[in-house]
Amino acid sequence: MSDINLYQKTKILFYRQKMLPLRKYEFYGMTDIRIGNGYDVHALAEGLPLWLGGVRIECTFGCVAHSDGDVAIHALCDAILGALALGDIGQHFPDNSDEYKGIDSKILLSRTMALVSEKGYRVGNADITIAMQRPKLAPYIVRMRETLAGVMGIPADAVSVKATTTERLGFVGRGEGCEAYAVVLLCR
């Protein structure tokens, strides 16, 4: 499926959700909300493409992974699955399956969002922190937010992406790997 179709499909799902009639708890001024958190880590190696938050980063190294290794999207998917209490990304998209070899993680996020819709929820907001010693990720942050928001069918101001180094400490600081943390709020 092309990215364009993917975004349109997610958008349609999003608008369908918005048209759902008021539910009982909304009528009483209550909202059903769920919170989820996700964490992911990948080793880094020279000569691989680096994808973060759905965006290709100019870099001589990238994540070692079965998929495209987008650590930020993987943490985000895990946060969403956590909020739904539906297990983790490895259960839904096994890393020993040929279907997911080299897969664009935006497709994994889109499929995760389909589960959100199935359960009658929508994403309220998401907050992601990427820990990486280099390169500087600041120039890519806005594009990551817009890309993730596009796949999730929510406004870009509901998606936060932050980047930090670990002050040269640990495996991240030594440039051996990168990690990402995500929290997400689902509502219906």
Nearer to Zn ion by Cβ, of 100 and 140: the residue is 100
Least distance (Å) between residue 120 CB and Zn ion:
27
CA atoms within 13 A on the CB side of 185: 10
Nearer to Zn ion by Cβ, of 100 and 121: the residue is 100
Least distance (Å) between residue 140 CB and Zn ion:
18
Nearer to Zn ion by Cβ, of 13 and 81: the residue is 81
Rounded to whole angstroms, the Cα distance separating 177 from 116 reads 30
Least distance (Å) between residue 69 CB and Zn ion:
6
State the first-to-last Cα distance of the chain, in angstroms, to the nearest integer: 28
Nearer to Zn ion by Cβ, of 74 and 106: the residue is 74
Q: Could you say which residues in the range 73-92 bind Zn ion, by CB under 5 A?
A: 74
| Contact status: 179 vs Zn ion (CB under 5 A) | no
Least distance (Å) between residue 177 CB and Zn ion:
11
Nearer to Zn ion by Cβ, of 74 and 122: the residue is 74
Nearer to Zn ion by Cβ, of 32 and 95: the residue is 95
The residues, any chain, with a CB within 8 Å of residue 138's CB and separated by 6 or more, are: 163
Q: Could you say which residues in the range 57-76 bind Zn ion, by CB under 5 A?
A: 74
Site size toward Zn ion, by CB under 5 A? 2
Token pair in block for residue 150: 């596009």
What is the sign of the dihedral through the CA atoms of 60, 63, 65 and 67? Answer: negative
User: In whole angstroms, how far apart are CA 28 and each of 17, 23, 119?
Assistant: 19, 9, 21
Least distance (Å) between residue 121 CB and Zn ion:
23
Least distance (Å) between residue 84 CB and Zn ion:
19
Contact 141, 161 (CB under 8 A): yes
The residues, any chain, with a CB within 8 Å of residue 29's CB and separated by 6 or more, are: none
Rounded to whole angstroms, the Cα distance separating 30 from 188 reads 10
Strand partners, 37: 183
Q: Could you say which residues in the range 20-59 bind Zn ion, by CB under 5 A?
A: 40
* Contacts with Zn ion, residue ranges (CB under 5 A): 40, 74
